[in-house]
Structure formats: structure tokens, C-alpha cells
Amino acid sequence: MRTAAATTEVRRPSAVRALTTLLAVTAAATVVVELLNWWYAPEQGFGLAVRTGWAMLRSLGFLLLIGHVRRGRALARPFGLILAVTTVFAVGRLVVPRQGVPPLPGLLGFALLTALCVAVVWLLYRSDAVAGHLVRHRRGLVVEGGTIAWREVAPKRPPVTGWLLTSRAAAFTYSPLMLVPALVAVGVVFDGRPAVGPAVLFWFAAGIAVSYVVLFCTAFLLRGRRWARRLLVAVTLGVLAVDLPLCWWLLGVDGLVRDGAPLLAAAVLALYGLWRAGRAEATPTPGVSRRGTGEAP
């Protein structure tokens, strides 16, 4: 990392370096554990292939998180939390087979990956050195004094709590967590149940529509609009009301557990983040004005 005033390199804190190494190990472990699950799975069908591919894509998420951490982005903390939680659920749903007991290599790999994700979350939220490092915003082109510079751009919106950012990150996972089981259900259509085709198309459409609604809602959520919080709660409940019954109807109890549980975890995290943010704003810190939060004092 280099400062704007000098070209000498600033050494990152040891906790930050440890976090980036841990994230790289977690990304590699995600791929290895998924390959183990695929190798030992008694049924290597279309549904398992879709779920395995989606889980392995999370390794790219950890690599992206490394970039945020190295640049000191404040977004790294909520992004890392939701990535770790959903990764544990995504891998856990593949360890347990439809029948019988899970293979020992799969269980050991799942335990290792869970420990790595817990360590990532602990460093993100319990390390003072990491917290002091993750304070920067994105960079952009700034025109000032007749010159153009590429530097950090502070957001124009009022400052928000970390829990609101966590709710936002969790809500952004709704769409992919709906589209993955919808894609798995395509195999059901070609497996002798063509009558459920319209329901699968509706599932896809709902998953795509949710991405736009969440994008609209969270844009105003970070600007302190109370109606955006109520809308996000309604969207969360609506997503659960659509996705969970479709998982149970089209994919059975096994699909409800494998695909419904990660979405339920993301929904609980989003609602908990809204609740914690509301409590934090209702109890202002002495000497700090609430005018910067976007809410009425």
C-alpha cells in the first residue's frame, strides 16, 4: 500500500496479512472440499453438478474479498460475513447424501472449511488492527482545481452502521440463492414432469426480479430511508414465501434442506442486521449528532 504523499510502501499490520493468507487458504479449501464431495457422492446427477458448481464459484468470492482487504475497503467486513455464512451452508448441504451417512473425507473437509470461515469472521470483526485498516472507500476520478486525479471518493450518502451494510450484502444473495434451485428444478422438468415447467419459469423470473428490487431497496436503505427498511423486510418475507414452498414441491424435502436453508440463513442475517442497526440508531453515542445518519434527531 502506498500513501498519496510519498512513494514509500507502508507495511500492512500483521493481522491484515494473516487475514489475506487465511482467505487464500479458504478459497483453495472450498475447491478441494467440493471436489471431495463430488468424488464420494453416490449420485452424481444434474442437481449435484449445479450445486457443486455454485459452491466452487464462492472461491472467486474469497479472491475478490482479498482485493477488498488489501485495499482497506470498509465493504470487506459485511461481504466477508455473508460469504462465510453462506459458504458453510452451501458446502454443508452437499456433504449429507440422500441416504446413509456422510463419507468421512467429506465430513473432515466440511469441518476444516467451517473452522476457516469462523476464523475469517473472527479476524474481520474482533481484530482491532483489521478494523482500523478497513476504513477506505472506493477510488474514482475526481476533478478539482482544474486537474483530474484518481483517488478515494467518500460517499455522498450519510454514514451508515456496519449492520446496514451486512443487511445489504445478505439481501444481494437472495437472487442467486433462488436461481440455483430453479436451475436444479430444470432437471425435474426433463425427468418426467413437464407439467411443472411454468412453475420453474416463474421461479427464474422471481429470482431475476428480486435482484432489481433489492438493488432499488438497498440504494435507499443506505440513505437512511425508513420505508426502505420496511420494504426490505417485505421482500425478505416474500422471497421466503416463494422459494421455500417451491423447493419443497419441486425438489422434495432434500431440496428444501439443501437449497432452502442457505436462503433462510441469509434472510435471518438480513433481518438481524436491520434490527441491530435500528437499536444502534435508537441509542446515539453521547456527543454524536444523529443528523449525519439520515434520520430525524
285: left (phi over 0), alpha (psi -120 to 50) or beta: beta
Task: Please report, as a single letter, which amino acid is at residue 11.
Answer: R
- pLDDT for the residue 201: 95
State pTM to two decimals. 0.74
- pLDDT for the residue 258: 80
The pLDDT of residue 76 is above 50: yes
Read off the pLDDT of residues 131-143 as tens digits, 9 standing for 90 and up: 888 877 666 555 5
Select the highest-mean-pLDDT range: 44-53, 59-68, 187-196, 201-210. Answer: 201-210
Read off the pLDDT of residues 148-202 as tens digits, 9 standing for 90 and up: 655 656 655 556 677 888 898 899 999 999 998 999 898 888 887 888 889 999 9
> Contacts for 251-254 with beta carbons within 8 Å, 24 or more apart?
251/47, 251/181, 251/184, 251/185, 251/188, 254/98
- pLDDT for the residue 175: 93
Taking residues 1-11, report their average pLDDT: 45
Does residue 265 or residue 9 have the better pLDDT? 265
Select the highest-mean-pLDDT range: 13-17, 152-156, 246-250, 280-284. Answer: 246-250
What secondary structure does DSSP assign to 30-59, as a single string? HHHHHHHHHHH-S---HHHHHHHHHHHHHH
Does residue 106 or residue 246 have the better pLDDT? 246
The pLDDT of residue 245 is above 90: yes
Confidence band of 96 (pLDDT split at 50, 70, 90): low
- Closest of 77, 191, 95 to residue 134, by C-alpha: 77
- pLDDT for the residue 152: 58
- Closest of 28, 43, 48 to residue 112, by C-alpha: 28
Per domain, the residue ranges of the chain are 10-154, 157-283+291-297
Distance CA 165, CA 179 (A): 23
- pLDDT for the residue 58: 80
Among 49-58, 150-159, 264-273, which stretch is predicted with the lowest mean pLDDT?
150-159
Task: Please report, as a single letter, which amino acid is at residue 278.
Answer: G
Q: What does the mean pLDDT of the chain come to? A: 80
The proportion of the chain whose per-residue pLDDT surpasses 70, expressed as a percent, equals 78
| Three-state DSSP class for residue 296 | coil
Confidence band of 268 (pLDDT split at 50, 70, 90): very high
